[in-house]
């Protein structure tokens, strides 16, 4: 008949999630559970190794920081992090989930030292599916359903962040507002379905030429915005002009006779040190857009 200790060991080994004992120096002292190879790799070989033996330095630094914070606070902490099997030296990547796995780590200080060191229990729970769903919901909440561009909410949030970064670092940042010229007449002549196709086509053209870090959003109706971080006035002007010309030469309704020519008016401004709120920037860019509309349309006006 099994003893209570044998039963306890069997129970611990059967835990679905891996439970690590990690010391304050970053050494794996023990590993229990985590036998489900659909959700976890076999980390048994990690015991007696250091975080720095098996992980890239940046990741090892992060794990050690979480251990030390938990020990300093002396309380349960919960963290989320991504880690792929390929990040850990010695793991058999064929015997476990592929790609990056997202974990919820529950870190609890141990009352008793381990190998003469303070230590924590770190329970790692696979939350990859939940993380993916949250990312999808986040994207849906920030995306314009018609065009696939970001929506007004995401633009305003990014604009606030960009303004804060600009005021701290003074890196040039530009904002462009764009309005499709005579859009009502497109809807009147060709119908709202065709009008929607034009808006989708403009967004597709714009997003196909974005640089890393640029943000293109539907601001409302037939109005779009382009946020250009780390961009000088000359570069921002060139990007906006190129987009304006791309739209003017685009073929958004190939079956229309005569061919539909679509143009856009644009206003542009750099952020200024006296800008304390995004409303100031938006007002200045909107004024420049207004000037473009009343200067013959299909042109770009840079705010003074």
Q: Are residues 199 and 253 in the same domain?
A: yes
55 plus 108 within the same structural domain: yes
The tens digit of pLDDT for each residue in 117-169 reads: 999 999 999 999 998 898 888 888 899 999 999 999 999 999 999 999 999 99
Predicted pLDDT at 9: 65
- Residue 36 has a pLDDT of 73
| d(C-alpha 116, C-alpha 175), whole Å | 58
Across 244-266, average pLDDT:
89
Tell me: the pLDDT tens digits for 42-58?
788 899 999 999 999 99
pLDDT at 185 over 90: yes
Considering the chain, what percentage of its residues have pLDDT values greater than 70?
94
Q: Let me know whether 222 and 270 are in one domain.
A: yes
- 222 is annotated as an active-site residue: yes
102, pLDDT greater than 90: yes
Number of domains in the chain: 2
Identify the domain boundary among 116, 134, 152. Answer: 134
Answer yes or no: do 215 and 67 share one domain: no
Q: Choose one of 79, 114, 134: the last residue of a domain.
A: 134
Verdict on whether the full-model pTM lies above 0.85: no
152 and 178 in a single domain? The answer is yes
- pLDDT reported for residue 8: 64
The answer on 180 and 56 residing in a single domain is no
User: Which one of 100, 116, 134 terminates a domain?
Assistant: 134
CATH number for the domain including 82?
Answer: 3.30.450.20
Query: Over the chain, what is the mean pLDDT?
Result: 91
The domain of 273 spans 143-302
Tell me, yes or no, whether 34 and 175 share the same domain: no
Q: Output the CA–CA distances (angstroms, integers) from residue 231 to 99, 162, 223, in the order listed.
A: 34, 12, 22
Give the tens place of pLDDT for each residue, 115-130. 999 999 999 999 999 9
Task: Examine the domain organization and report whether 20 and 158 are in the same domain.
Answer: no
pLDDT confidence of residue 70: 97
Query: How far from 183 is each of 75, 178, 191, 300, CA to CA, in Å?
Result: 60, 12, 11, 17
* Residue 16 pLDDT: 82
Q: Are 298 and 158 within one domain? A: yes
- The residues pairing with 151 across neighbouring beta strands, listed in sequence order, are none
Taking residues 270-295, what's their average pLDDT?
96
Residue 1 has pLDDT above 60, yes or no: no
- State whether 65 and 18 are in the same domain: yes
Instruction: List pLDDT tens digits, range 186-241.
Output: 999 999 999 999 999 999 999 998 999 999 999 999 999 999 999 999 999 999 99
From 212, 222, 223, 241, active-site residue: 222
Residues 118 and 248 in one domain: no
Domain containing residue 280: CATH number: 3.30.70.270
Specify whether 116 is located in the same domain as 246. no
* pLDDT of 168: 93
């Amino acid at each position: 008949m099994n003893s209570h200790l044998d039963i306890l060991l069997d129970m611990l080994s059967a835990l679905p999630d891996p439970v690590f004992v990690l010391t304050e120096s970053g050494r794996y002292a023990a590993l229990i559970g985590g036998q489900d190879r659909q959700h976890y790799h076999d980390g048994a070989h990690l015991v007696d190794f250091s975080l720095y033996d098996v992980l890239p330095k940046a990741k090892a630094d992060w794990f050690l920081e979480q251990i030390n914070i938990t020990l300093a606070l002396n309380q349960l902490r919960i963290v989320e992090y991504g880690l792929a099997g390929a990040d850990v030296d010695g793991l058999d990547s064929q015997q476990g989930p592929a790609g990056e796995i997202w974990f919820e780590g529950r870190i609890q200080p141990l009352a008793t030292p381990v190998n003469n060191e303070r230590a924590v229990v770190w329970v790692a729970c696979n939350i990859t599916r939940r993380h993916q769903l949250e990312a999808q919901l986040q994207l849906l909440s920030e995306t314009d359903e018609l065009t696939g561009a970001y929506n007004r909410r995401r633009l305003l949030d990014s604009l606030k962040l960009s303004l804060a970064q600009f005021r701290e670092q003074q890196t040039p940042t530009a904002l462009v507002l764009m309005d499709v010229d005579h859009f009502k007449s497109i809807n009147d002549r060709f119908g709202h379905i065709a009008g929607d196709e034009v808006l989708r086509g403009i967004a597709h053209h714009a997003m196909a030429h974005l640089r890393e870090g640029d943000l293109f959003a539907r601001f409302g109706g037939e109005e779009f915005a382009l946020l250009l971080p780390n961009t000088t006035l000359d570069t921002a002007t060139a990007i906006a002009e190129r987009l304006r010309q791309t739209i003017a030469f685009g073929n958004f309704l190939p079956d229309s006779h005569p061919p539909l020519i679509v143009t856009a008016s644009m206003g542009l401004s750099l952020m200024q040190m006296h800008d304390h709120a995004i409303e100031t920037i938006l007002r200045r860019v909107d004024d420049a857009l207004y000037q473009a509309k009343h200067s013959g349309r299909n042109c770009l006006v840079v705010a003074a």
